[in-house]
Structure 1
Amino acid sequence: MDYPQDFVWSSAGRGTAFVAEINKLIDELPALKQDAVKAELDHLASLANNAVLVSAEQVCPTMGIDLEGLEGVQDVLLMLALDYPQAFERVAVQASLNRRTGGKNWSAFQFDDDGKAWALDDEAARAAFVADAIEILNLPVHRKREADWYRAVRVHAITGEETELVQATIYVEDRAASELTFGASEGLERQVFQRVLEVGIACNPAERVVEICAAGGKKVRDEYAQAFSKHFAPGSEPPVEAPRREVLLNTLRSQPDFSVEPADGVERVEVSSLDFFSTGGGFARFEKRGDGETIYQFLDRRLAQVSPIKAGGWQIVSATLRIVMAPQDSKRRRTLTVTLRAPNTTTIPNKTEVDRQLVLQLLERWNLIAPPAPEPDVIEDG
């Protein structure tokens, strides 16, 4: 498609010289080609929003694609579509994954911080994981499949800290569908086309969290998590599902009243560490070391009014709680450790489902996590 080099770029809005030139070029194409071009332009327009721009900022730097100097999301999308088609598709998939994070087709799984590295770059492990994914989908082995592995950068909403994720999108040929269309004979025909299923995986080795975005319900996502554990972290304990809930760390700006009931079986609760972020860009971390005083007493004794709890310009961005369980049935006391990170990360003790539910109940009671949001009805673009 040839186009002139002397558009009136300063024009704006419908009916301007620039738009007229574009429409003129499209009108000169054959009818079927016009439809194809307009369909592509409609697709670009559907992606032109701030969420997609954020996704481009997550994906493009790890691929060596510089977005500096580009003017807005439309400029970014057009550049990617023309020069980096693979990056363009990754950005679209990333936007879909970001939009569904925390929704009904998404789950996050927390591994123990046991110091054992994940084999995320092992090609054999990747191939075995994709093979298991096909089995989980319960589709015939002859169905076409493709897995796109790539790296993305997630930026912390408060601190601006960057975390590199390893992500994968698994595409699988789904069962065929059909629709009416006008065929070569110009009459109505029923056309059969092959649909594509997508499964999204986001791995955060720093926080030992794996996020899985896939339809099919909790049971299916549990199976994906088990397959991930088997192939990429065989030496670690299997993960537990962790909720994506907003954490309410301002509750910890003063010594909380950790109310417990006899049925909880909790002996005591303590804040063992607090992490602070300054509006000027500074970080501070305080940990409780002795049994003689709480972390709040220590900060008051040593820092008084300049403590980040009392001084202005500091936010709590992370906190760790130690929940000491009373000994029961001749068993020794044990400790459940949970870390809360702003804005919405909660580590859950990698123990039993009973422990997990107890911790969630306690965090809600202590006003440290927000109630679960109602499930939105999300309709994905076909």
Structure 2
Amino acid sequence: MKINAQQKVKFGSYDKEDVIFLLKDLSGISLEGSTEDREKKIQGGAHYSETLPIEYNPPEHYLQLFWETLHDYKDKVARSIAIVAEQIYQKHREQTVLVSLARAGTPIGILIKRYLKWKYNVSLPHYSISIIRDRGIDENAIHYMLEAHKGYALQFIDGWTGKGAISIELTKACEIFYQKYQVRLDDTLAVLADPGYCTTLYGTREDFLIPSACLNSTVSGLVSRTVLNDAYIGQADFHGAKYYQELEPYDVSKVYLDNITEAFQKVNPAYIAEKISANHLDQTVDFRGMQEVLAIKEEFHIDSTHYVKPGVGETTRVLLRRVPWKILMKDPDSPYVKHIVMLAKERGVEVIPYPNMSYTCCGLIKKVVQEG
């Protein structure tokens, strides 16, 4: 089957030296709906990947919080990038293709690429591709990369883990790919933060606030979430996404990357080596976050674990994209949850102190579709 390789088309606001998106451009198609209407469709059985949430330029006070967060945590992000990048480089050196899972993985993948260029003067190929819960990975994108980089190892990258849905999806997708094509892919997911204990390749297991989780497309190259809708995606196509050019005046994607990249200068190599050694001793993968999610589901009489989103990043997404019901917080005074407190207040969402939780916070989605 011939793949419609559209990667040469300008897509997103990132430089092509940073990342190549293997995505079909759906910018001219109206896929957005209001948060409430979209939530009803999803809870009524429609798949979340068939439509998109409406994206806006962030309000000024919220953007200000992003800048404060970036100022406060850029050094921590830089250290975590260094820890995970060094481990990736140890595995296959220059014979590595960095494969970010769009969209949260994309800025992380770019930063890993930049770190390795800064530290070792190597420029690893870096792509961003789509993986969708319950729908799998973009096999056309995998074929394209394997053909373009024969003999290289693909290293999948995401931003963080919640309850591990994407880690599980990736493992399942790699097994399906092997059954179909007899090509074994490494399903080890590299992430900046792994509070859910879902992978062995991580920067930290602390559930801290990664600044890029604060915003949507305006910190992600103006690219939407990925789309898999049969009306627009053919068998030979990559999964799709939109490029929000109208949001260019509000784009902070490159500034975010440049701030973290600059912070590489302050990374202490001895500290990084020490943390990598500690990580190698702590290779536990028990998806413990899912156990907490199941307990929360029972305690709050929630129908499905899909409505329970643990971790700072996932809670942020609930408030930005879904219809939130309640927010559980380990410590409402934690600096990691300032933006979540602000969003919850704006949307009139109850914040419940919930100290007996390993995550910093957890978002609960409101049930908007009644039985029958």
Which TM-score bucket, shorter chain as reference? under 0.3
Q: What TM-score results when the alignment is normalised by the length of structure 1?
A: 0.22
Larger gyration radius, structure 1 or structure 2: 1
More strand as a share of residues: 1
Q: What TM-score results when the alignment is normalised by the length of structure 2?
A: 0.22
- Structure of greater relative contact order (alpha carbons < 8 Å, 6+ residues apart): 2
